[in-house]
Structure 1
Amino acid sequence: MLKKFISYYKPHKGLFSLDMFVALVATTVEVFFPFLTRTLIRDYIPQKNVDLIINALYIMVGIYLIKLVCTYIRIKWGHILGVRMEYDMRADIFRHLQKLSFNYYDNTKTGHIMSRISNDLSKIAEVAHHAPENLILSILKILGAFLFMFSFNVKLALIALIPLPLMFLWGVFYGGKMRNGFRKVRRKIADINSTVENSIQGIREVKSYANESVELDKFENANSTFKYAKENVYAILGVFHSVFQFLSDFYFVIIIGAGTWLIFNGELGAADLIAFILYINIILKPINRLINFTEQFQRGSAAFERFLEVMKIDPDIEDKTDAYSYDDIKGKIEIKDLYFKYKNTKDMVLKNINIEVKNGEEIAIVGESGAGKSTLISLIPRFYEPDKGKILIDGHDIMNLKKNFLRNNIGIVRQDLFLFDGTIRDNIMYGKPDATEEEMIEAAKNANIFEFISSLENGFDTQVGERGVKLSGGQKQRISIARVFLKNPPMLIFDEATSSLDNESESLIQRSMYELSKNRTTIIIAHRLSTVKHVDKIHVLKNGEIIETGDHETLLEKEGYYYGLYTKNLF
């Protein structure tokens, strides 16, 4: 973990060196200050040497001016170093999240992912800035102080060493407790984020069922758990800091008491004791910083562990080293002897699937809910991978093709479509970011949405709201179809694209789907008969197996499973 953390410093070696240099300069001049004070009191004042006294005072002022400049540089550029490392980590984790397959997102809450990207990385950035200063320079400051102290009086310097092990042991003993406590706190805040996000995203359902009290109860449960976790941590912190403060105060008592005894016996001068007291104050600052830093370090360490947890997750679906693409894609799809089950499940969701879709052919896959229809079409773009069997595109095994090439040539229109929080333009152009204005307008016309967009005050620059909340279901669906028109792929998949729409919206979308499907290999998953009557072939799925195949009329004539569904009006 430490090696990985250090690697994020490498691109910013210049800033890191600057931060360390100014911190080292500030440490050096600060350690020199008590020595100068001792010399002033012990030598210059008794000698009544005004010039030396004035020079010493000038040097003291210079020391603090140097510290002023160094502190400014250290705080500004040290924090900028942390911010830039945070930027790199955030870019890495977001890039990695883009590689992870649906399996990861099926089993991970969005709130937990957001917590890693935002809260955790902010903690890591603080550690990235403060860790080198607090660990390296604090040690140097303590060592420098003791070098001067031993040069003044060995006995008192040895006595000054006695409390240090006790103080460090106290820090180490409670460090583990704090680390465990803050791990729990990070997990609980992720739970709160997830609860809030889920409630806000489903606010219309909440209000429709008048279940605000249910959501309040769920939030109260998560919030209370978080509160108790934090209270436990702060109880530990209370004991930790109060005992450490007592040890710090008692440190002065030990030095003053021992110094007084040595002065009484003629083994120490008053100026030496003053210098020792100043050095103890210098020593306590880095010790206090180190001990206080343990709290911050535990948070940052736990956050970085969580960051690495995500980064260590290997994508389930990756290109082979020799993966390839090819030109002039036709769009013939063959599914041969295919079996599939989800991770952590025993039973196969799909069994012995064999389907052939010729270039430009339009087929449908139908069946009751849970039959495995959506799972099947998710295997074609390699959102999941089969446990057994093959899927071929123009005779090429999709396992040997580049993922981006495969997905760039497949257009998908879903029932649970997603619109990004932006403008209509942004959402249509997502299908082809480098498209021209004319191409975008043509796509909107083909999707039967251009007239509606033109009626809006801001036209294509109209904001759609989060997940397209400002638009109706039919309008959102036609925008998603326009997006696919703009993408212009040779293969299409319609996953129950009209199942939740009213008749008027369905009619418009049917026309859009018809236009979009021309001269393209098309697979339709549908419940409504109106969307499958015209297709070249229908495959009937039951419990993950194809039990009937044929066109609409042929299947009705068989009076089998498809006929039963049709007569029950389940489509």
Structure 2
Amino acid sequence: QNVLNQSFGKIILSPLQILANIVILLMISVKLSLYTFIILPLSFYIIYKIGQSIRRRSRRVFQQIADVMQSFQEAVSAITIVKIFTNEQKEEKRFRKTNYLFFRKMFRAERLKIATTPVNEILMVLTLIVLLWIGGRMVYMNSGLQAEDFVRFLVFLFAMFKPIQEFSGVNNTIQTGMAAAERVMNVLEQPEETYEPPNAIVLETFKDRIQYEHVYFKYNPDDEFGLEDVNITIHHGETVAFVGHSGAGKTTVVDLLPRFYNVDQGRITIDSVDIREITLHSLRKKIGLVTQETVLFNDTIRANIAYGVENTDEAAIINAAKAANAWEFIQKFDLGLDTHIGEHGVKLSGGQKQRLAIARAILKNPPILILDEATSSLDTESERLVQEAIDKLMRNRTVLVIAHRLSTIRNANKIVVMDGGRVDQIGTHKEVYQKSAVYRTLYDNQLLAGQEKSPAFIENGATDA
């Protein structure tokens, strides 16, 4: 903003003034001009090097500003934890230290900017002294330079000093602006999602199956593969539960379906069509998502339930809330559906937030549903209400469940056991319990929701437990 508002005119005007004065100086005396040009490049070189240093220091200043804001935001957002651990003084010291580092870096950058003018002035004074000596001798010895020409030369030389100083200041402003722009450009230059690739297919319906065919994926080009040779077939109407240790690749597998990321090798198909050949809009319209970390907006309950669904009426919103076991607590608010829930749903409990998220998914009515550990970290009553809502949500849909507990996978048609980015086993509870050491360990250690092992469960499978 400063570059455009304050320096844009000088960027054009100052170089033109310098060039015009150089031409006039050459017309007055070529010999004196050559002496001048020996010193002027040194001045421009110093301006250039100072500008480079200012850019580096400004980059550090902007990074430190981000650290200051992060320190402040963390302390404020976690104020309850800070208070309960009586850690106010430590947080204050941490903020003071971060802020002092910002002051030091800012001071160094500004000190360098301020130093530009006196450095240039010293060079100009030295230039003037040299020219006074050489020009005075030329006039005194009558060596091709008249006194009036020498005076004119000095006048235009002084006239050139001002645009040089202005150009130096402009360079400092530009370098600071470039350092600030780098942080913005790093975001703007990220590749955009291609919502409408050439000859893309609109996914009208989902009728048959989802297939992962020899899928390989890594988050960064230099990383190792997070998923390797993943082959999974999910038929229409099936409920498939993904189970495994933390970091096994469960979330990564399901995140590839709505194309939050693209596969590196292999392909994922819906009804035999590669999802990369389907428009993102139509693909994601067919997928619902309910996560453990519920995302709600600082708006009304009505707006949160109807998010992304256009032209919906109040009856549909109420029916979705009832199906998600959310209508009972919504009615208790004075404004009902028009109640503002605050930032991130701060006015609601964890179970209430999840039920609103489920209501949102029910209203969207997608044929494919992703449940990401949606019943974790809830009390017994909240989990019961949420589980009932999930059971209603899962009816007549194709469901991918990421789970750590048997309560969320007991009705699964098949279980996919992930281990180290690979598929360890696929089958029913009984089959994978017998074949997969990973699943058997998880089950025996009661990491799947703490249910006690039951011989009947193992014998009859997850559906009968």
Name the TM-score class by shorter chain: 0.7 to 0.9
Partner residue in 1 for 2:99: 223
Partner residue in 1 for 2:203: 326
Q: Which moved more, 1:498-507 or 1:285-294?
A: 285-294
What are the residue-to-residue correspondences of 1:385-464 with 2, within 5 Å? 385-464=262-341
Partner residue in 1 for 2:9: 133
Say which SS state the counterpart of residue 316 (structure 2) adopts: helix
Verify: 1:377 aligned to 2:251, yes or no: no
Verify: 1:528 aligned to 2:405, yes or no: yes
TM-score (structure 2 length as normaliser): 0.77
Letter paired with 2:217: F
Say which SS state the counterpart of residue 322 (structure 1) adopts: coil
Change (3 A) 1:146 1:350: closer
**2:287–2:369 CA contact under 8 A, matched in 1:** yes
Say which SS state the counterpart of residue 185 (structure 1) adopts: helix
**2:242–2:417 CA contact under 8 A, matched in 1:** yes
Partner residue in 1 for 2:353: 476
**Cα drift, residue 504 of structure 1:** 1.2
**2:287–2:366 CA contact under 8 A, matched in 1:** yes
**1:139–1:286 CA contact under 8 A, matched in 2:** yes
Change (3 A) 1:437 1:149: farther
Letter paired with 2:242: I
Tell me the distance in 1 between the aligned counterparts of 2:272 and 2:67: 47
**2:195–2:281 CA contact under 8 A, matched in 1:** no
What are the residue-to-residue correspondences of 1:234-383 with 2, within 5 Å? 234-244=110-120, 286-314=163-191, 320-330=197-207, 332-343=209-220, 347-383=224-260
Q: Which moved more, 1:431-440 or 1:373-382?
A: 431-440
Q: Which moved more, 1:169-178 or 1:511-520?
A: 169-178
Letter paired with 1:179: R
**1:534–1:552 CA contact under 8 A, matched in 2:** no
| 1:58-91 CA distance string (max 9 Å, x none) | xxxxxxxxxxxxxxxxxxxxxxxxxxxxxxxxxx
Tell me the distance in 1 between the aligned counterparts of 2:288 and 2:80: 30
Say which SS state the counterpart of residue 441 (structure 1) adopts: helix
Letter paired with 1:133: G
Tell me the distance in 2 between the aligned counterparts of 1:302 and 1:474: 45
Tell me the distance in 1 between the aligned counterparts of 2:323 and 2:408: 18
Tell me the distance in 2 between the aligned counterparts of 1:169 and 1:555: 72
Say which SS state the counterpart of residue 323 (structure 1) adopts: coil
Say which SS state the counterpart of residue 435 (structure 1) adopts: coil
**Cα drift, residue 413 of structure 1:** 0.7
Change (3 A) 1:548 1:154: closer
**Cα drift, residue 475 of structure 1:** 1.4
**Cα drift, residue 560 of structure 1:** 6.2
Q: Which runs of 5+ in 2 are unaligned?
A: 140-145, 449-465
**Cα drift, residue 377 of structure 1:** 1.0
**Cα drift, residue 296 of structure 1:** 0.9
**Cα drift, residue 499 of structure 1:** 0.8
Partner residue in 2 for 1:172: 48
Partner residue in 2 for 1:466: 343
Letter paired with 1:534: N
**Cα drift, residue 357 of structure 1:** 2.0
Tell me the distance in 2 between the aligned counterparts of 1:467 and 1:439: 24
Q: Which moved more, 1:359-368 or 1:456-465?
A: 456-465
Verify: 1:489 aligned to 2:366, yes or no: yes
Change (3 A) 1:343 1:201: farther
Change (3 A) 1:291 1:407: same
Change (3 A) 1:243 1:478: same
**Cα drift, residue 171 of structure 1:** 3.0
> Percent of aligned pairs with the same residue?
37
TM-score (structure 1 length as normaliser): 0.64
**1:351–1:544 CA contact under 8 A, matched in 2:** yes
**Cα drift, residue 415 of structure 1:** 0.8
**Cα drift, residue 547 of structure 1:** 3.5
Q: Which runs of 5+ in 1 are unaligned?
A: 1-124
Partner residue in 1 for 2:451: none
Letter paired with 1:386: V
User: What is the CA RMSD across the aligned residues, in angstroms?
Assistant: 4.1
Partner residue in 2 for 1:66: none
Partner residue in 1 for 2:392: 515
Q: How many residues align?
A: 439
Tell me the distance in 2 between the aligned counterparts of 1:137 and 1:561: 72
Say which SS state the counterpart of residue 423 (structure 2) adopts: strand
**1:334–1:355 CA contact under 8 A, matched in 2:** yes
**2:214–2:231 CA contact under 8 A, matched in 1:** yes
**1:317–1:384 CA contact under 8 A, matched in 2:** no
Say which SS state the counterpart of residue 420 (structure 1) adopts: coil
Change (3 A) 1:324 1:218: farther
Tell me the distance in 1 between the aligned counterparts of 2:438 and 2:147: 106
